[in-house]
């Protein structure tokens, strides 16, 4: 580590690593605040919050978010309960069967989401027909199918999370509760569930995120309830606007905020627990005076506060800042720029045309005697032939006032002399 | 506090597949007794406890509590409370919530529970500690909380599964007295599981010595210690010197044993084996280290043993002399340290003397592992 080369390469590696991880997010977040109507970070034109309002005006996106949340909640409930049941089963099943059971229950994670989507659709359609229900029954409802379809594999994720915690559970606790007179239901509710609560929370978050971002299973099952990912995918087909960047930015901010908040909370609990062990009373530790102490050595809390301030600043700016003038300026600038371009283009075209005409003329002289009529707006001044005729073909000793100069020969020395 | 009720095990068999954990146990435990199951780990004593508390159904036989057959009755319906080896305090509940868990599930109000918790905390000498978490208590305090939690359920029988094994020596000795006091105060039946013969002897009214699923002997501490029924009981409970041999002659309750190494020695026959030992039987004779005394070197007789001293040690309250014994085992002699001078005898042959009454002979059998 003392070798500077190694140290520098580690820093470079870290920089590349984080650029790779976070670069796309940063660029995309910038596009959400740039005014051009195609998402791009450069050239920077105007700071605008227009895309956020555009987002909230977009019925389809809003509907997609709503459906995603509904599906997410359904998936949480279904997946976490199935996952918990699966995890409990795994700890209680006969040891000989455990490996097989584990494989079976983990399999949905390994099966491609597309396959799960199709099979969910086919399976429930079959059941629906067997029961003689119509196309509008619950079993063919998009929400129902999406929740069921996603839960098939999200439940496995949840189980993995829950099993990790359950392995640390001392079965003697349940036995102790039973021994003290509790029924199995009471022991489950009062002892096991509180113990599992942190893992259940993690599993719920995981289930929600997995459900929210799922596309390939949902694409077969959504029916009349397109989720956000489905809506976005459909939008991309017709070209995207920075409104989608705005949505993504909000999701990023919410995620980061939640993660930092959670981290800070955990740190805080640790500090509290340590203080309690050291014999301090709770009041002493959680008292307002101690708050700065809680920040020391708690990077997440500091980052959280900075982040919160930044968010407030952004939102505050958004309410008072009016980008109209800037946009008008940019548009004016753009208009001028466009005009200039058009002008240039026109001139270019004319030049091309005349060059072509002159060339034609030069070629045509051998066959046609008359000089081509000068139909160009500039009267053939730029035609190379004309120039030649005016300046070089005319002999300098020729004093005859041909007067083809624009100044009517006023500069002619002979004229001056003649005036005397 | 509820009065203690008796517990009976009738022809109790417990099998796990082919493995027999408990073999035909018949035990009668009187109400209000402090009863210990004493045995090495894996002897089936915890299995018996789990059968009494209801976590295990016996393969055969019955468990009776207060005369009622407990077949098919779950642990939450039995008048027992179990104190687990690792205590199993609920880690997320405060001490007072732990203690009154049995009231909570019956729907008692928080105020009632708090009041009861405070009473019990006073009883276990932990006043004002109700708002702590179990993880904030010391080992001995947790121990007492576990006892309070079990007592709060007002059981007729309290079952304790090696509850002191996790404590250090000082605390263990202190908790022995405390447990015994609590038992006498509340007057309920205690069934105590331990592999520590000291715990069993000091606390129990009666002890059952177990070996590999079989109950070898049931009796009070003195009987178990002085009058063991089997070689295992003799060697497991306390220190004992073993002399292997054959029965040479039997005179009523005394026998002459031809030992493999130490000549012919006379001994009392243990009460359980009187009339059962015949001339020519393989036998084992046991003499406690403290029952042996030094005799003039070379003395011969039916209560004298001569052997080479291998090493000696000073233990504070006694001098221990180790001599070459039978089957690779040393003979240990403990001479009380009461002021006499003490020379090093290593390498010398010494003669030991004992009272015939202090030696006991039982049929040859399995010895306890050291």
CATH architecture assigned to B7-226 = 3-Layer(aba) Sandwich (3.40)
Across the beta sheet with B349-353, the strand order is B293-295, B349-353, B304-314, B318-324, B330-336
Which residue bears the tokens 């596009």? A31
In A278-298, where does DSSP find H-type helix?
282-286, 291-295
* Residue range B306-364, pLDDT digits in tens: 888 888 888 888 888 888 877 677 888 888 888 776 777 788 888 888 888 888 998 88
Decide if B92 and A170 are in contact by the 8 Å CB cutoff: no
Q: Please tell me which residue, B86 or A411, carries the higher pLDDT value.
A: B86
| A270 close to B (CB below 8 A) | no
Decide if A180 and B150 are in contact by the 8 Å CB cutoff: yes
Report which secondary-structure segment, H or E, holds A29: helix A4-31
* Residue range B174-194, pLDDT digits in tens: 888 888 888 888 888 999 998
Residue range A96-109: mean pLDDT, rounded: 89
The domain segmentation of chain A, as residue ranges, is 59-240, 254-318, 322-360
Report the range of poorest mean pLDDT among A404-413, B57-66, B109-118, B171-180. A404-413
B102: closest CA of chain A, how far (Å): 5
* Residue range B240-264, pLDDT digits in tens: 888 888 888 888 888 888 888 788 8
Q: Is residue A94 classed as helix, strand or coil in its secondary structure? A: coil
| B10 close to A (CB below 8 A) | no
- Checking if the pLDDT of A395 tops 50, the result is no
Percent of chain A clearing pLDDT 90 (strictly above):
24
Percent of chain A clearing pLDDT 70 (strictly above):
79
Decide if B106 and A276 are in contact by the 8 Å CB cutoff: no
**Planar angle of CA A66, A71, A76, nearest 5 degrees:** 125
User: Whose CA is closest to B210, among B47, B50, B368, B39?
Assistant: B39
CATH number of B239-363: 2.40.50.100
- Checking if the pLDDT of A80 tops 80, the result is yes
Report the range of poorest mean pLDDT among A22-26, A74-78, A294-298, B18-22. A294-298
Determine contact, residues B334/B318, Cβ cutoff 8 Å. yes
- Cα-flanking dihedrals φ and ψ of residue B245, to 5°? 175, -165
Report the range of poorest mean pLDDT among A215-224, A385-394, B154-163. A385-394
Taking all residues of chain B, what is their mean pLDDT, rounded to a whole number?
87
In A39-141, where does DSSP find H-type helix?
50-57, 59-92, 95-110, 113-130
Interface test with B, best of A176, A189, A195, A197 (most B CBs within 10 A): A176
Q: Is residue A149 classed as helix, strand or coil in its secondary structure? A: helix
By CA distance, what is B149's nearest residue in A?
Answer: A180
- pLDDT recorded at residue B191: 92
| Cβ pairs bridging A and B (under 8 Å) | 62
B56: closest CA of chain A, how far (Å): 11
By CA distance, what is B136's nearest residue in A?
Answer: A277
CA B364 to chain centre: 22
Report the range of poorest mean pLDDT among A35-39, A99-103, A183-187, A199-203. A35-39
| A173 close to B (CB below 8 A) | yes
Q: Smallest Cβ distance to A276: which of B88, B105, B136? A: B136
- pLDDT recorded at residue A365: 60
* Residue range A17-60, pLDDT digits in tens: 999 998 988 888 888 888 777 777 777 777 777 788 888 888 88
| A305 close to B (CB below 8 A) | no
- Checking if the pLDDT of B208 tops 70, the result is yes
B83: closest CA of chain A, how far (Å): 8
**CB under 8 Å to B194, separation ≥6 — which residues?**
B36, B37, B38, B162, B164, B165, B200
Helix, strand, coil shares of chain A, percent, nearest 5, are 75, 0, 25
Report the range of poorest mean pLDDT among A307-321, A375-389, B104-118. A375-389
- Checking if the pLDDT of A79 tops 90, the result is yes
| A277 close to B (CB below 8 A) | yes
CATH number 3.40.109.10 is the correct assignment for the domain at A59-240: no
Q: Smallest Cβ distance to A182: which of B80, B105, B150? A: B105
By CA distance, what is A174's nearest residue in B?
Answer: B88
Residues 118-157 of B with CB under 8 A from A: 136, 149-150, 153
B288: closest CA of chain A, how far (Å): 40
Q: Smallest Cβ distance to A179: which of B53, B86, B106? A: B53
* Residue range B262-306, pLDDT digits in tens: 888 888 888 888 888 888 888 899 999 888 888 887 778 788 888
Pairing label, strands B214-219, B241-251: unpaired
- Looking from the CA of A161 toward its CB, the CA atoms found within 13 Å total 23
Taking all residues of chain A, what is their mean pLDDT, rounded to a whole number?
79
Pairing label, strands B349-353, B304-314: antiparallel
Q: CA dihedral defined by A123, A128, A130, A133, rounded to 10 degrees?
A: -170
pLDDT class of A1 with cuts at 50, 70, 90 = low
* Residue range A270-293, pLDDT digits in tens: 888 777 766 655 444 444 444 455
- Checking if the pLDDT of B131 tops 80, the result is yes
- pLDDT recorded at residue B90: 92
Angle, helix A59-92 to helix A228-237, in steps of 10 degrees? 130
A263: closest CA of chain B, how far (Å): 21
Question: For residues B307 and B330, what is the distance between their CA atoms, to the nearest angstrom?
Answer: 10
B242: closest CA of chain A, how far (Å): 41
> Would you state the structure tokens that stand for residue B68, as one six-digit string?
């009622």
**CB under 8 Å to A389, separation ≥6 — which residues?**
none
- Checking if the pLDDT of A378 tops 70, the result is no
Report which secondary-structure segment, H or E, holds B360: strand B359-363
- pLDDT recorded at residue A418: 43
The domain segmentation of chain B, as residue ranges, is 7-226, 239-363
């Amino acid at each position: 580590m003392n070798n500077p080369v190694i140290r520098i390469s580690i820093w470079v590696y870290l920089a590349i690593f984080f650029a790779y991880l976070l670069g796309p997010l940063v660029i995309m977040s910038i596009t959400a605040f740039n005014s051009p109507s195609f998402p791009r970070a450069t050239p920077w034109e105007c700071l605008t919050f227009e895309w956020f309002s555009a987002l909230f005006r977009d019925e389809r996106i809003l509907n997609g978010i709503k459906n995603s949340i509904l599906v997410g909640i359904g998936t949480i409930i279904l997946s976490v309960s199935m996952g918990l049941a699966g995890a409990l089963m795994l700890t209680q099943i006969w040891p000989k069967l455990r490996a097989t059971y584990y494989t079976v229950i983990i399999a949905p994670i390994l099966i491609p989401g597309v396959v799960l989507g199709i099979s969910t659709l086919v399976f429930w359609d079959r059941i629906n027909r067997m029961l003689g229900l119509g196309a509008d029954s619950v079993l063919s409802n998009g929400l129902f199918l999406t929740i069921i379809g996603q839960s098939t594999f999200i439940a496995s994720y949840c189980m993995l999370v829950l099993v990790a915690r359950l392995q640390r559970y001392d079965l003697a606790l349940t036995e102790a509760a039973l021994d003290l007179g509790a029924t199995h239901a009471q022991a489950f509710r009062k002892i096991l569930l509180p113990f599992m609560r942190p893992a259940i929370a993690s599993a719920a978050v995981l289930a929600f995120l997995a459900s929210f971002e799922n596309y390939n299973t949902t694409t077969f099952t959504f029916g009349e309830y397109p989720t956000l990912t489905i809506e976005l995918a459909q939008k991309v087909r017709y070209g995207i606007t920075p409104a989608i960047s705005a949505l993504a930015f909000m999701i990023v901010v919410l995620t980061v905020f939640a993660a930092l908040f959670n981290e800070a909370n955990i740190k805080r609990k640790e500090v509290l627990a340590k203080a309690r062990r050291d014999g301090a009373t709770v009041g002493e530790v959680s008292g307002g005076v101690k708050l700065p102490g809680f920040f020391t050595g708690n990077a997440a809390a500091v980052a959280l506060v900075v982040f919160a301030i930044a968010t407030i600043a952004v939102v505050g700016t958004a309410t008072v800042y009016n980008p109209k003038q800037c946009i008008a300026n940019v548009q004016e600038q753009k208009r001028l720029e466009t005009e200039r371009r058009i002008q240039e283009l026109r001139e270019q075209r004319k030049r091309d045309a005349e060059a072509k005409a002159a060339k034609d003329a030069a070629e045509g002289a051998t066959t046609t005697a008359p000089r081509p009529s000068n139909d160009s707006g500039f009267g053939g001044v730029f035609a190379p032939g004309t120039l030649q005729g005016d300046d070089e073909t005319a002999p300098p000793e020729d004093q005859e006032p041909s007067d083809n100069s624009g100044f009517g020969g006023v500069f002619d020395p002979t004229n001056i002399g003649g005036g005397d | 506090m509820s009065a203690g009720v008796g517990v009976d095990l009738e022809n109790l068999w417990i099998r796990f597949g082919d493995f027999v954990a408990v073999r035909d146990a018949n035990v009668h435990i009187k109400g209000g007794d402090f009863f210990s199951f004493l045995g090495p780990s894996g002897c089936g004593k915890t299995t018996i406890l789990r059968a009494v508390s209801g976590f295990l159904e016996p393969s055969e036989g019955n468990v009776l509590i207060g005369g009622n057959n407990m077949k098919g009755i779950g642990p939450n319906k039995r008048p027992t409370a179990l104190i687990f080896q690792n205590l199993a305090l609920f880690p997320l509940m405060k001490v007072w919530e732990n203690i009154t868990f049995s009231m909570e599930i019956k729907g008692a109000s928080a105020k009632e529970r708090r009041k009861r918790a405070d009473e019990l905390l006073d009883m276990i000498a932990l006043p004002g500690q109700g708002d702590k978490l179990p993880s904030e208590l010391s080992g001995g305090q947790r121990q007492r909380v576990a006892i309070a939690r079990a007592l709060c359920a007002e059981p007729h029988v309290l079952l304790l599964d090696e509850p002191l094994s996790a404590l250090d020596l000082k605390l263990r000795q202190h908790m022995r007295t405390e447990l015994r006091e609590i038992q006498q105060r509340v007057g309920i039946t205690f069934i105590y599981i331990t592999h520590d013969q000291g715990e069993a002897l000091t606390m129990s009214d009666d002890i059952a010595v177990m070996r590999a699923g079989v109950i070898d002997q049931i009796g009070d501490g003195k009987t178990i210690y002085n009058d063991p029924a089997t070689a295992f009981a003799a060697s497991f409970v306390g220190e004992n010197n073993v002399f292997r041999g054959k029965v040479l002659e039997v005179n009523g309750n005394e026998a002459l044993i031809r030992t493999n190494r130490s000549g012919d020695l006379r001994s009392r026959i243990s009460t359980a084996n009187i009339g059962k030992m015949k001339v020519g039987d393989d036998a084992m004779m046991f003499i406690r280290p403290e029952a042996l005394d030094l005799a003039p070197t070379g003395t011969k007789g039916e209560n004298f043993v001569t052997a080479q001293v291998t090493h000696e040690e000073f233990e504070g309250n006694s001098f221990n002399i180790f001599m070459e014994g039978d089957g690779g085992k040393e003979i240990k002699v403990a001479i009380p340290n009461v002021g006499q001078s003490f020379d090093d005898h290593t390498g010398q042959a010494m003669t030991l003397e004992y009272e015939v009454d202090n030696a006991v002979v039982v049929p040859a059998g399995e010895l306890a592992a050291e």
